Amino acid sequence: MSQPTIEFPNYKLQNKVALVTGSARGLGKACALALAHAGADIALGLRKSDTAVDLENEIRNMGRSVIRVQMDVSEVKEIESAVKTVIDHFGRIDILINNVGVAPANPAEKVTEADYDLTMNLNVKAMFFTSQAVAKHMIRQKSGRIVNMSSQAGSIALDDESVYCMSKAAVNHMTKTLASEWAKYNIQVNAVAPTFIETPGTEPWLKNPEFKQSVLDRIPLGKIGKPMEVAGVVVFLASEAASLITGEIVMIDGGWTLK
């Protein structure tokens, strides 16, 4: 009697199209490169479409198709226009990486309405309407993967980060509600929640030896994360290897939130 064929996990993304917002640098850039390395064609969603030329060339040199798209996610009309551009070019979007976000530090008693609106609009409102615009096409395809960039801050309290923390808590619950609502269309929605990662945005903080040590003291694994350590989980969630996962918030925090 012949043995049943074993179906091993498939992490490859050939013939998939991924849209990555905020892809010019940091985690967005790492995600775009990692997805391309796994075989996906890439749409770079950029606040200014004349940037990230080097990244575009790097992805093209991998043998992938890539376009740069004007996509200031603070403007809903620009989100819709960008998604249309990607669909017109590639014919589909299989993967959305909602990466755009801000994390301005400010004591709660000093937060202004403008401060609040900036953080909530970019971290929550923009993510919702980007997901909505892309999901309309994924619903017609009857398939799709959405990965939201959350943070450990959505699960713990960080001093001087009250609005950022609440915005990421909102991202976590948005992830779950969209996963529930769109599961019937075979759309999986998950989030990754990193700790402090070495990016241009965190560089000024991590240059301070005392601050860096205070972070390391909170991380059981005893190291600051690298962008590709986040991108690796993003690729997994975008792949068929994660075909039974939706509505999850994956902590990438070296163990910070264990305690």
Among all residues, which ones are annotated catalytic? 164
Locate 65 and state its tokens: 């198709």
- Burial class from Cβ neighbours inside 10 Å (0-12, 13-18, 19+) for residue 241 reads middle
Task: Confirm if 44 and 126 have CB atoms less than 8 A apart.
Answer: no
Cβ neighbors of 30 (< 8 A, separation 6 or more) are 227, 228, 230, 231
Give the single-character DSSP code of 2: P
**Residue 41 class from Cβ within 10 Å (0-12 exposed, 13-18 middle, 19+ buried)?**
buried
Q: At 100, give phi and psi (nearest 5°).
A: -60, 135
What CA–CA distance (Å, rounded) separates 78 from 183? 27
Helix (H), strand (E) at residue 18: strand 17-21
